[in-house]
Each structure stands twice: as structure tokens, then as C-alpha cells.
Amino acid sequence: MHEFSLVKSLLRQVNEIAEQHGATCVEEVKIEIGPLTGVEKILVQEAFELLSPDLPGSDCRLTIIEVPLQAICNSCGKSIVVQNFQFQWTACVSPNIRITSGDAFRLLDVTIDTELTTGVTEP
């Protein structure tokens, strides 16, 4: 349900970047999500298709990179992949782990077109 508001927030940030760099067209937006981001990929895509025509160039591509849920065990320091949301790291007595990726909605990069100005401005 909240994919719409997250994508709105994403596009606001993309727009700011496009403006800062004087983009005439935003070609591609690349994002990262994971199992604990709390969003559905298809709904993110749909929200993007609905909202992205407001971006410069109006034909922007969304690339979604899906990463696994990764964590570090605070006891042994080992990096692990959390499967099926089972957060107990059985190799250590302590079940204390810190999530390192797969729980965020990250804007990775934005590909834009810019018009090189030659010092001559059109009327």
C-alpha cells in the first residue's frame, strides 16, 4: 500500500538531482530493495510507471536490483544470509545479529542526459 508514497519520495529526490545537474532527460533510475524493505516489486514498478512521466524526458526506465537479506553476527563477526526471516544464527550462542543489507529502499544511481551549453542561449 505504501509503495506509492515511497515512489513519490524517490521521484522527488530524482527530480532534485536532475535539476542540480541541468538534465534534459532522466533515462534511468536504479534502485535497490530486499526481502525486508517492506515493498512489493510489482507495486513499486506500477507506481513508478504512473508517476514518472513527470520527470524530464518523460520516458524513464526503472531498474530494480534485488539483494538478499544479509547480516553480521555480533558475536563471531561472520557475514550471513538470512533465509526465510529466521534471524537466529545457530552457529553462535548469541542470536544477536545486525542487518547490513536487504532492509532498505536505496536510490543507487540516476542516468541523465544533459545539453552541453555553448554559451549561446536561445531566445
Partner 1 sequence: MTKTTIRVNRDIQAEKRERAAAFREKLSRQGTLVLNLVSSPGTGKTALLEAIAKELKGRLRMGVLVGDLATDRDAQRLAPLIPVEQLTTGGACHLEISLVEQGWQKLGEPELDILFIENIGNLVCPASHDLGEHMRVSLLSTTEGDDKPGKYPKMFRTSDALVLTKIDLLPYLPFRVEAAIEDARLIQPDLDIFHTSAITTEGIPDWCEYLEQQRQKLVASVQTS
Task: Report, in Å, the least distance between residue 61 CB and partner 1.
Answer: 13
Rule CB under 8 A: say whether 55 interacts with partner 1. no
- Scanning residues 56 to 85, which ones bind partner 1 (CB under 8 A)? 85
* Shortest CB 57 distance to partner 1, Å: 11
In angstroms, the first-to-last Cα distance of the chain is 46
| Out of 15, 19, 38, 62, the residue judged to bind partner 1 by CB under 8 A | 38
Residue from 19, 112, 119, 123 that binds partner 1 (CB under 8 A)? 112
What single-letter DSSP state applies at residue 53? G
Report the nearest approach of partner 1 to the CB of residue 3 (Å): 9
Is the CB of 24 or the CB of 79 nearer to partner 1? 24
* Cell representation of residue 95: 542470536
Residues 6+ apart with CB under 8 A from 85: 35, 36, 69
Kindly state the cell numbers that stand for 8: 513519490
Q: What whole-number distance in Å separates Cα of residue 123 and Cα of residue 118?
A: 14
Among 86, 90, 118, 121, binds partner 1 (CB under 8 A): 86
Rg over alpha carbons for the chain, rounded to the nearest Å, is 19
| Part of the chain binding partner 1 (CB under 8 A), chosen from 47-55, 59-67, 72-80, 112-120 | 112-120
Residues 6+ apart with CB under 8 A from 122: none
